[in-house]
Structures are given as C-alpha cells and as structure tokens.
C-alpha cells in the first residue's frame, strides 16, 4: 500500500524589509508633525512676546492732549486811562488794547528808554562830570539836585533817574551817551523805530512836556517790554531805596522809588511812573505771571488810579491770553515700563501745573522732554519716577517731577522681561496645548505602527 504523499510546504515570503520601511515612513510622518507642531508653538509664543513687549511701548507726551486756555474775548475790567495796552512777549502780540494807537504824552516813563540806552552804551562805573545844561533845574520838575561840575557815576545817575525820576539825572545820562540831549533823542527815536514803534517821537531824555514829544500805549508797551529784557535795568527799577555816596560837591543822597512807593504792582519785574498833574499820569511796567511775560501800560489817567488799573489788567492776563496747559498737577504725562510687576506698564503724572504761550499760538512750539527712571515692582503710587522739562519756542520754561499713579505688585518670572501676567498665562496655555497635542501625536504614532505590523 502506497503511503499518501505529503503536500509540499511553501515557505512564507520574507516581509521584514517592507515592514521596516513602513515603520520608517510612519516615524518620519509623525516626526514631521511634531516638528511642525513645535514650530507653530514657538511662533505663537514669540508672537505673544513681540506683541506685548514691542507693540505696546510706553506712550510719550502727547501734544494734541494739551488743554487750550485763555480767551482774548474774555471780559476785562473797565479802566479810566485814555490809552492802555497789555502786550504778551511770549506771543509777540497785544492781548488787550484801549485806544492803543492814540498819541499821548508819556512824561517820565520816557526815562525807561533813557535808562535802557544808558545801560547798553555805558560802563556803569564810569564817572561823568555834570554839565551846566543838565544841572539847570526844570520848573517844578523832579530832581536829585545835581550841580554843574559834580562828578558822579553812571550807576548813581541811573538810580537817580529811575527811582527819584530825576530829570537832571536823565539829561546827564543822555549827554554821557551821545554828547548832547538832542543827539540822544535821535538815538531814542532810532531805537524805537527798530522795535516797531510807528507813532512815537522823543525830543528829550526825561519826558518833559513838549508838543513834539509823544508816544502811544502800543509803542510804549513795546519799549517797556524790550527795555526790561536788560537785567541791570530791572534790578535798578526794582530797588526800593538807594544811597548815592558823597561826591566832590554833595553829601550822600538817599533815593526812594516813586514806582514802588505805596500800592504795589503785582508780578512787576520792572517799571516806571510818569505824570504831569494828578489827573494826567502814566505807568509802564514789565511783568511775569505764571508763564506769561509782557508789559502793561496806562496813559493819561489819574495818578491815584494808575497802579490799581495796571493791577486790574495783569489780574486778568491769564484769562485773556491764549495758550496751553501743558501739564496739570496729577494729570497724565506719559507711560513707563515696570520691571517685575503684575503690570509691565504704568501711567506717570505731573507734580505741577505748567502753562505755555508759544509764538503764533502753535502747539508745535511746545516740546516736553522726558527722563524716566528705571521702575521695578513692588511699586507704590506717588513714587518719583523721573523728570519732565517743558521748552517753548526752543527755550527752557520749567521742569518738574514725574510721579507714579498706582500701586503695582510683583508679577511672574516673565515680568522681569517687562511682560504682564497675562503674557505668562497665554504662553503657559500655548505650552499646555503643545504638550497635549504632542501626547496625542505619540499615541497616534504608536497605534499606526501596531496596525501596520
């Protein structure tokens, strides 16, 4: 009996190489997915960092936010002067006028220009000899009793002319500058023209009444403003009492200021009274009030009212002068970064109110330069945080201190890089999402590999 034939066994094909290739493809696919996911995570985290660090830079001072102040049409108290003007040198224009171009006798406020030209052209310590003409008294005119042949310094003559309104002292100064009073009057008129005075003519140095000797409130306001830019003249006219030492022909003289005697003029930095009678008097002053510099003039008014009227005008100068409130005490000035805080940015405020009056009323004429301190949490409100300096038309006006406005506590480690806590939360969320997706990818990869084995 023949034994049954055993079927021939076929060997299974060898798929090892194919499986290895499939596993490699799976690994490459998921590796690329992990790399892509990681890159996306880095891009997202970087975007958060860039947006919160760079795009939110601390705000600087905003000129557009400055508050407009002053109204030229604001009401002004009535005054009795025949002519008057308030001139603002910041704006280089009048802010109040009454018959400002009417020709009126200036009287002794003429000596303001006399004093200016003397200070500008003479050595104050120079000794001059008094002429017969200068020593000749004017009838009922004010005098410091100079004598012909007396030797006296220019400085003493200036105090004599500006404090006691000595007509003789003013004439002596004119002769010292130009050789004669007539030549000096020519110099006065030339200077007045250079300053833009179109309705002024002087024939003497002291303001003695003369039909050809006149000015206007506007012209005198210009003369006063320009003359008192001279610091020496300011100092002299703001002196209440001065003693002229003995000379070769006189004992010591004590001078008392006519301008500063009695009622004071508020905010005055220089000035001079004038008058012919008690009902025909004048006053011209330079003043400086809360950032406004200028001059105020009243012509042909009662002598007892002239200071009162000037005070009324200066009293409302802020109401009628257009300008800007650059900073307000406690008001926002800028922002600053805070290192290590729950907030990486804080607002800084001004410690004082500063007003400015740029030429042409242009905002661009105002600049605020900031110097922020390095701030680090924890931080208390009211902490000094730097300085600010206000410039108007290129000139420094005033400086102040920047102050913090809020308490800021310590933040996360990212706050050390000037990032707020919300940045940490966002980046933390991105990391958690990345980690979760990475785990999902790993699980998916393992399953895929098992299914292909």
Residues identified as active-site: 108, 111, 165
Residue pointed to by tokens 């300096």: 389
What φ, ψ does residue 169 adopt, rounded to 5°? -65, -40
CA–CA distance, 77 with 383 (Å, rounded to integer):
44
The CA distance from 305 to 282, in Å, is 10
Are 202 and 117 a contacting pair, CB within 8 Å? no
Asked if 131 and 175 touch (Cβ cutoff 8 Å), the reply is yes
Identify the residue whose tokens are 């011209």: 284
State the Cα–Cα distance between residues 328 and 66, nearest whole angstrom: 9
Percent helix, strand, coil in the chain, to 5, is 40, 25, 35
Distance CA 201, CA 220 (A): 11
Distance CA 221, CA 298 (A): 9
E strand or H helix at 25: helix 16-53
């Amino acid at each position: 009996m023949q034994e049954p034939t055993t079927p021939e066994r076929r060997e299974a094909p060898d798929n090892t190489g194919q499986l290895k290739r499939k596993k490699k493809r799976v690994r490459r696919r998921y590796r690329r997915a992990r790399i892509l996911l990681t890159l996306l995570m880095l891009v997202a985290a970087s975007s958060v960092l860039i947006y919160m660090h760079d795009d939110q830079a601390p705000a600087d001072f905003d000129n557009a936010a400055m508050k407009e102040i002053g109204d030229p049409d604001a009401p002004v108290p009535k005054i009795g002067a025949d002519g008057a003007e308030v001139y603002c040198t910041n704006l280089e224009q009048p802010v109040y006028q009454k018959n400002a171009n009417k020709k009126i006798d200036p009287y002794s406020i003429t000596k303001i220009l006399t004093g200016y030209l003397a200070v500008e052209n003479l050595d104050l310590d120079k000794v001059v000899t008094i002429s017969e003409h200068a020593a000749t008294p004017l009838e009922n005119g004010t005098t410091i009793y100079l004598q012909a042949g007396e030797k006296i310094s220019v400085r003493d003559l200036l105090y004599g002319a500006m404090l006691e309104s000595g007509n003789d002292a003013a004439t002596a100064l004119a002769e010292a500058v130009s050789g004669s009073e007539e030549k000096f009057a020519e110099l006065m008129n030339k200077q007045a023209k250079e300053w833009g005075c179109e309705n002024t003519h002087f024939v003497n140095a002291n303001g003695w009444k003369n039909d050809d000797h006149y000015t206007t409130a506007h012209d005198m306001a210009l003369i006063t403003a320009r003359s008192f830019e001279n610091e020496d003249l300011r100092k002299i006219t703001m002196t209440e009492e001065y003693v002229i030492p003995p000379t070769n022909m006189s004992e010591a003289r004590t001078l008392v200021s006519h301008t500063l005697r009695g009622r004071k003029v508020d905010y005055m930095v220089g000035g001079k009274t004038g008058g012919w009678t008690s009902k025909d008097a004048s006053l011209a002053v330079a003043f400086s009030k809360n950032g406004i510099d200028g001059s105020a003039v009243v012509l042909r008014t009662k002598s007892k009212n002239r200071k009162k009227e000037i005070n009324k005008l200066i009293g409302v100068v802020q109401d009628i002068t257009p300008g800007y409130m650059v900073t307000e005490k406690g008001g926002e000035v800028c922002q600053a970064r805070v290192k290590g805080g729950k907030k990486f940015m804080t607002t800084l405020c001004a410690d004082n109110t500063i007003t400015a009056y740029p030429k042409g009323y242009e905002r661009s004429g105002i600049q605020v330069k900031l110097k922020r301190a390095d701030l680090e949490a924890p931080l208390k409100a009211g902490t000094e945080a730097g300085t600010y300096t206000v410039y108007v038309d290129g000139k420094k006006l005033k400086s102040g201190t920047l102050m913090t406005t809020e308490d800021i506590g310590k933040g996360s480690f990212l706050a050390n890089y000037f990032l707020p806590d919300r940045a940490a939360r966002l980046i933390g969320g991105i990391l958690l999402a990345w980690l979760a997706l990475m785990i999902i990818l790993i699980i998916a990869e393992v399953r895929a590999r098992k299914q292909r084995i």
